[in-house]
Amino acid sequence: MERKVRVRFAPSPTGPLHIGGVRTALYNYLFAKKNGGDFLLRVEDTDQTRFVPGAEEYIIESLKWLGISPDEGQGFNDGPYGPYRQSERKPMYRQYADQLIESGHAYYAFDTAEELDTMRDTLKANGMSPQYDAVSRMSMKNSLTLSSDEVQKRLDAGDPYVIRIKLPRKEEVRFHDIIRGWVVVHTNAMDDKVLFKSDGMPTYHLANVVDDYLMKISHVIRGEEWLPSAPLHVMLYRYLGWEDVMPEFAHLPLILKPDGNGKLSKRDGDRLGFPVFPLNWTDPKTGELSSGYRDAGYFPEAVVNILAFLGWHPADNRELFELEELVQEFSLERVSKSGAKFDVQKAFWFNQQYLRNKTDEELASALQPFLDKEGVQVDKSYLNQVCRLMKEKVSFIHEIYQEGRYFFEPAANWDSALIQKKFKDFTPSVLADLKDAIESSDSFTKETIEHLFHAIVEEKNGRKSGEMMLAFRLSVSGVAGGPPIFDMIAVMGKEATLRNMNAFLSFYQGISAN
Ligand code: GLU
């Protein structure tokens, strides 16, 4: 019988979710939806020492913002396999550790931290890898070396202990990874990892495998950093007798820094000016702020598109995909093995494409909160028109305000160096003529302004229009760039245009008098 596709995103709430983690969640979501399966969110919080308050809420909010909501899981819908937070599943794990001890695949170990250090130092000094394994375990304090009476005595006395997996000395562990093909690891390169800790909690390895089994997970899709753990997980499936329902593995490539080598880090983001987190995050201990895509003005659809392309590509050259389209196109077979370089310019480009595809009304409502923050009040239909003109010019919503301030406030702070460089003797008087003509004109449309401009500049003053364009733009808006000039002026309106031109002409008198 075909197995139902069930996949999970299983983050540990140890801080803000890095975009690598968000991409893992996205690929799991896409794979589930493509295959008519379920997508789960499981919070892996067995390591209480690394717990960070707020991190779980942050993960949930990030997934909601991006629209990749799990079908089951913490913070979303309850399902038949809950609870979905591992700390609440604590009583479920011990029986599997006991089962492994009984079947001879795990053992108690009583070594202290100092004894473990000494063992590792000795091995290193002898040029061997510092592993707790088939050889070294025989000189340590565990239930393989101590008599059963001694073991029982220690257990009864409540001595601290851990439970370790007992790996064979020489065996090949083979498993198939959908992205990487066959992976082969020898047990002599593996550690007898701790499965159960002295605080009564399972480790990541045991809890992860047990939960994937109990939650009927069909595919484990996760970051490459977990590839080294996979052979151990395969051994656990085997020793627990679950090999026939072992999930298929797919280890996703790393997201690499834009320049140089290595994994993308928060420091790269700070250095190159882009977020590596979905949402802003304030570290509860240090108060340090890390910036997020949402707060930096990215659209969630753009972030989904950016992340989809970090390690995956579609069958053709298309680049713009909304979530639904990604679901149709996605396949793990087209995820690459090699790391994906983050491209900052491309991220801007994606956001810009989504911005341009929005209606003027959508942009206006997205801009409204920025204007509210600045205390700027404008009419809705005016804002729609500003958005219509500015959307070709910017990559982010807030840039409509930042780069088009003249639409919202009187022009000021003209660049006198630029003016002195560009202005000719005739420029101010032609500008003054133009201002008078605008003032006495009854009509104020794009066409009339354009017509007046040519009439005054060319016919009345015998100049080329190219000689007056920049001056006209500067006088009205205060800046040298922007949307097509006559459209811009028509939207700004007669009153603002004349007010700015008057202010400019007085300003000019001031600088030319000096
Ligand atoms: N808790 C692990 C993490 O933080 C999960 C790895 C996995 O998906 O197995 O990423």
204 alpha carbon to ligand 1 midpoint, in Å?
8
Confidence at residue 230, expressed as pLDDT on a 0 to 100 scale: 98
Confidence at residue 513, expressed as pLDDT on a 0 to 100 scale: 74
Q: How confident is the model at residue 61 (pLDDT cuts 50, 70, 90)?
A: very high
Residue 366 has pLDDT above 90, yes or no: yes
Asked whether 202 lines ligand 1 (CB < 6 A), one says no
Q: How confident is the model at residue 271 (pLDDT cuts 50, 70, 90)?
A: confident
Ligand 1 atom with the shortest distance to the CA of 11: 4
Residue 394 has pLDDT above 90, yes or no: yes
Ligand 1 atom with the shortest distance to the CA of 9: 8
Closest C-alpha residue for ligand 1 atom 10 = 11
Closest C-alpha residue for ligand 1 atom 2 = 11
- Classify 428 in phi/psi space as left (phi over 0), alpha (psi -120 to 50) or beta: alpha
**Percent of all residues in the chain with a pLDDT value above 70, rounded to a whole number:** 100
Asked whether 111 lines ligand 1 (CB < 6 A), one says no
Asked whether 205 lines ligand 1 (CB < 6 A), one says no
Residue 512 has pLDDT above 90, yes or no: no
Confidence at residue 174, expressed as pLDDT on a 0 to 100 scale: 97
Sheet holding 106-109, edge to edge: 106-109, 162-165, 194-196
Confidence at residue 125, expressed as pLDDT on a 0 to 100 scale: 96
Asked whether 44 lines ligand 1 (CB < 6 A), one says yes
Confidence at residue 261, expressed as pLDDT on a 0 to 100 scale: 83
Average pLDDT score over residue span 361-370: 94
Mean pLDDT value across the chain: 95
Query: Phi and psi for 455 in degrees, rounded to 5?
Result: -60, -45
* Residue predicted with more confidence, 413 or 498: 498
Which of 8, 44, 48, 58 to mutate for ligand 1's pocket (most ligand atoms within 8 Å of CB)?
A: 44
Q: What is the pLDDT of residues 149-158, one digit of tens each?
A: 999 999 999 9
Confidence at residue 514, expressed as pLDDT on a 0 to 100 scale: 66
Active site residues: 266
Confidence at residue 198, expressed as pLDDT on a 0 to 100 scale: 84
Rounded-to-integer distance, Cα 273 and Cα 412, Å: 29
Candidates 234, 257, 259, 232; CA nearest to 245 is 234
Confidence at residue 154, expressed as pLDDT on a 0 to 100 scale: 97
Asked whether 222 lines ligand 1 (CB < 6 A), one says yes
Residue 260 has pLDDT above 80, yes or no: no
Confidence at residue 1, expressed as pLDDT on a 0 to 100 scale: 63
Please report where in the chains the tokens 């790393």 appear, as a residue: 254
Instruction: With beta carbons less than 8 A apart as the criterion, state whether 284 and 254 touch.
Output: no
Confidence at residue 510, expressed as pLDDT on a 0 to 100 scale: 86
Which of 17, 87, 193, 222 to mutate for ligand 1's pocket (most ligand atoms within 8 Å of CB)?
A: 222
Asked whether 11 lines ligand 1 (CB < 6 A), one says yes
